[in-house]
Structure 1
Amino acid sequence: MNATIRRGSVHDAGAVAGLHALSWRTAYVGIVPEQALGDGLPEERRALWELRLAAEYGEPANTPELLIAEQAGRTVGFAYLVPQPDGRILLDNLHVEPGLTGGGIGRALLGAARSHVARQHPGADLYLEVLRDNSRAVAFYEREGGLRTAEQEGVFPGGFVLPEYEYTWTAADRVQSTS
């Protein structure tokens, strides 16, 4: 893998936004409407990440966590964890630079996310939502022990609706895997 995982900050907004847009344009072709991947995507992602990373969330338990994977000082992946009102932690994003997928960076980010949740939110389940038709991501989450816990419709900016799966890693799974 050869990537280092570190905590991110507002200074990472540009790199994360660029990688996020590139990942969407690679992984979601033929899955999401073409207009959602258009010319405005990089700017929209940059505004989103600047807002998210500069926001004040109050209590540390309510504060999202950005994890960055770097190789030679370059951002090659990221994960974003968001505490939810129901006590679970949403893995809102996990993206790896196209061309580097399959090399262990995603696995390292998911492992770091699970470790962060175990340390900072003991007893909380980690979950994510993935587009049903993103077969590569679905296969990855299943290989990594995610349990499919729901099927739903996701509503995206621009108003389009797509089928999603929810995958969960429970706190009980973490305890069993470390025993």
Structure 2
Amino acid sequence: MLNEIKKDAQARMAKSIEALRHNLVKVRTGRASTGLVDSIKVMAYGSEVPLSQVASVSVSDARSLVITPWDKSVVGAIEKAILASDLGLTPNTAGTTIRLNLPALTEERRRELAKVVHGEGEDAKVAIRNIRRDANHHIKELLKSKQITEDESARAEAEIQKITDAAIKDVDEVVKAKEAELMSV
């Protein structure tokens, strides 16, 4: 029973770290990445669909993305979706090809983005601590119902704390790596 609680907590913490990595892909660094436009939804064919389902996205060079729609009728919808997104990019359209040029980041913008990265890291830490709280709550319930001894409970809580510490260390490493990527010119 205790092993299941520990495994569940560890798996949920790993998912939190993976979600953090996924969220940080959207934070724009100086380089172009197809991950920047993953979250964009395009109004096409009567519903909102992810950009990746109506167009191919590729990196043409370090500072630009090329979006090629599979159907030329959605070019306008893709442009609107990009303009409405929080990326702050202006699409340049040539026929059916849309080009996104990423301007170089200013020092001030880099610092703002570093704060955003830090905030995402803090959110991930809060999620991990909530997972720890849930696991400890389950352990206390087992103790109350006399399914485990106090020693087993203390040992399990200590192990949960070790798992939590490792997960928070991973979050710090991910945040530090993203900040270093942002600050490199």
TM-score range, shorter chain: under 0.3
- Give the structure with the larger helix fraction: 2
TM-score by length of 2: 0.24
TM-score by length of 1: 0.24
- Bigger relative contact order, structure 1 or 2 (CA pairs below 8 A, ≥6 apart): 2
Bigger radius of gyration among the two: 2
